[in-house]
């Protein structure tokens, strides 16, 4: 080993040194520099902006949700040989704290901008104008939009309030100084500084709007606070962080927010397109199952028979690849494409049906008010157990089940209502709520058809779960 190291060293010493023929550039890049950054810049920003920043606290009244039977009672019944009654559930009516967030005042009469996720699910919203104030103002929701994560709330102040002036995110440049205001972890009226790291950062899972990236510290509680430039103008709304790293925060560009404010105040929501379809992602496994190779897109898993999509001729299992020439590579991108399509006008859907490309013209309607579907209590429905000891039970959806599960009207495919613990189905990943579309590559319309197609060996099920199409292989025990 020593001899080897010595030989390497000797070879290195013996190697000829070649003269550098071209000198490296030494002149620095030309910079168009402005005035020196004032030493008291961030002091003045703090004085100007903090009075317009508010602390938001939310709470919710616990709902008296039905609970399942305590398994301990079964053991006691076997032990004592008598029927045991489950004690009544205690009601809790006192509001329970949910979280803290930030907002900023944009109008003297108490109109406040914040993130939708700050106030989502809240029964009560309280606003504190300053950290030292003992006054808590009751706020009402003026408008909210989940996909852009923007909400407007309003309080009734005792006097005119200090407001934050909305600037322009379009004029923002990478490298520009910015300051983030908020209440990180409940520490009221905190300020951090940094630069704009990037613009137009597209993260569809977080927001449909491309975001501003900054290294100004943004932490839980900063959500909904303003991102401000050195002129004291709001250029963004603090929204999210990348938990995997430090110094990666995101803000919603204020130009996008300004476009939303009038509609949120007038209608309470953003009008979005609607075609009446439930969707799933065409992931690689599903594409392979369908013989589509590396094709990407969104799969229509269910259709409202009275909805715009069904009336236009779309079908279940159609794979949408673009809307109005805008590529679709996932269910989320299809939702955004339909949402942004002009309401009351025809949109061009490029689809693949039975491996053949087609174009379908769909008249886009306005999305109805969102409801909160409730899960069905599956035990009150008689289901059909799978044969061959596979360990799952399915049921044909009735109108009541479709309503309670939030499923499309007219949906007929069977739903999994039970999977036995440690069963073949459970180990394979089948879950309660899965809608069975195919069994062993054959489409099914009801429970009877699904159970008839099951066989010894490996059974391949294609199911719809939330917004995804999944392939599940269940081996008979």
384-385/392-395 β-pairing: antiparallel
**Is-catalytic flag, 403?**
no
Task: Give the number of other Cβ atoms within 10 Å of residue 23's Cβ.
Answer: 6
List, in sequence order, every residue forming a beta bridge with 221; answer none if it has no partner. none
CA distance 39 to 258: 32
Locus of tokens 């963004």: 236
- Compute the distance between CA of residue 333 and CA of residue 319 in angstroms, rounded to an integer: 13
Residue identified by tokens 């613009």 is 199
Active site residue 117: yes
The active-site residue out of 192, 223, 331, 447 is: 223
Q: Which residues pair with residue 459 across a beta bridge?
A: 474
Catalytic residue among 117, 130, 329, 384: 117
> 């199952």: which residue's tokens?
289
- Mapped onto helix, strand or coil, the DSSP state of residue 201 is strand
- DSSP annotation of 21: S
223 is catalytic: yes
User: Where would I find the beta strands (DSSP E) of 215-345?
Assistant: 226-229, 234-241, 249-253, 273-274, 277-281, 298-303, 319-323, 326-327
Tokens 């399509």, residue? 341
* Residue tagged active-site, from 46, 57, 145, 149: 149
Residues ≥6 apart with Cβ < 8 Å to 83 = 77
Q: Token pair for residue 134?
A: 């003992």
Calculate the alpha carbon distances from 183 to 57, 123, 198, 244, 427 in Å.
11, 21, 24, 21, 44
Residue 139, H or E segment = none
What is the rounded CA–CA span in Å between residue 356 and residue 26?
A: 60
Which are the catalytic amino acids? 117, 149, 223
């Amino acid at each position: 080993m020593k001899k080897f190291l010595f030989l390497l060293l000797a070879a290195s010493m013996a190697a000829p040194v070649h003269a550098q023929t071209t000198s490296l550039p030494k002149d620095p890049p030309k910079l168009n520099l402005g005035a020196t950054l004032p030493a008291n810049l961030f002091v003045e920003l703090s004085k100007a902006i903090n009075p317009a920043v508010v602390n938001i606290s939310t709470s919710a009244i616990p709902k008296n949700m039905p609970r399942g039977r305590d398994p301990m009672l079964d053991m006691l019944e076997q032990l004592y040989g008598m029927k045991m009654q489950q004690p009544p559930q205690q009601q809790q009516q006192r509001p329970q704290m949910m979280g803290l967030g930030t907002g900023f005042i944009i109008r003297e009469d108490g109109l406040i901008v914040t993130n939708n996720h700050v106030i989502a699910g809240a029964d009560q919203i309280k606003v504190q104008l300053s950290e030292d104030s003992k006054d808590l103002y009751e706020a009402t929701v003026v408008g909210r939009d989940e996909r852009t994560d923007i909400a407007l709330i309003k309080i009734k102040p005792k006097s005119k309030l200090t407001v934050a002036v909305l600037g322009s995110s379009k004029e923002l440049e990478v490298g520009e100084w910015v300051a983030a205001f908020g209440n990180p972890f409940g520490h009221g009226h905190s300020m951090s500084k940094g630069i704009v790291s990037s613009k137009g950062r597209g993260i569809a899972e977080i927001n449909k709007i491309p975001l501003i990236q900054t290294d100004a510290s943004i932490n839980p509680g900063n959500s909904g606070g303003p991102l401000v430039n050195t002129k004291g103008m709001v250029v963004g709304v603090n929204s999210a962080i990348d938990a995997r790293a430090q110094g990666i925060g995101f803000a919603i560009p204020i130009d996008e927010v300004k476009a939303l404010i009038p509609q949120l105040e007038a209608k309470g929501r953003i009008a979005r397109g609607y075609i009446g379809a439930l969707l799933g992602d065409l992931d690689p496994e599903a594409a392979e199952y369908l013989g589509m190779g590396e094709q990407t897109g969104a799969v229509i898993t269910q259709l409202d028979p009275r909805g715009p999509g069904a009336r236009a001729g779309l079908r279940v299992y159609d794979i949408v690849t673009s809307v109005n020439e805008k590529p679709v590579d996932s269910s989320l991108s299809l939702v955004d494409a339909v949402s942004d399509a002009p309401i009351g006008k025809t949109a061009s859907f490029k689809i693949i049906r039975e491996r053949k490309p087609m174009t379908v013209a769909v008249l886009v309607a306005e999305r109805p008010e969102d409801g909160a579907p409730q899960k069905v209590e599956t035990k009150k429905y008689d289901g059909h157990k799978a044969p061959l000891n596979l360990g799952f039970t399915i049921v044909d959806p009735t109108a009541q089940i479709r309503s309670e599960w939030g499923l499309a009207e007219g949906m007929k495919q069977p739903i999994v209502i039970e999977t036995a613990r440690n069963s073949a189905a459970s180990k394979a990943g089948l879950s309660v709520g899965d809608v069975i579309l195919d069994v062993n590559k054959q489409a099914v319309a009801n429970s009877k058809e699904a159970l008839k197609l099951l066989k010894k060996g490996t059974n391949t099920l294609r199911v719809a779960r939330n917004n995804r199409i999944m392939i599940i292989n269940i081996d008979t025990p």
